Amino acid sequence: MDRYKKLTVNTLILTIGTVGSKIITFLMLPFYTNVLSTAQYGTVDLLLQTGSFLVPIFTIGIASSITRFGLDNEYKKKMCSPPDWPAMALASSYACFCL
Closest CA to 1 of 71, 13, 9: 9
Residue 29 lies in a domain: no
Residue 70 lies in a domain: yes
pLDDT: which is higher, 39 or 85: 39
Residue 36 lies in a domain: no
Region of 72 please: left (phi>0), alpha (psi -120 to 50) or beta.
Answer: beta
CB 63 within 8 A of CB 98: no
| pLDDT at residue 50, rounded to an integer | 92
Residue 86 lies in a domain: yes
Q: What is the pLDDT of residues 18-77, one digit of tens each?
A: 888 889 988 988 888 888 888 998 898 899 899 888 887 777 777 666 666 666 666 555
Residue 61 lies in a domain: yes
Residue 92 lies in a domain: yes
CB 32 within 8 A of CB 24: no
Residue 46 lies in a domain: no
Total number of domains in the chain: 1
Residue 10 lies in a domain: no
| pLDDT at residue 67, rounded to an integer | 67
The whole domain housing 76 covers 54-99
| pLDDT at residue 46, rounded to an integer | 92
Inform me whether the pLDDT recorded for 12 exceeds 80: yes
Using only C-alpha atoms, what is the Rg of the chain? 20
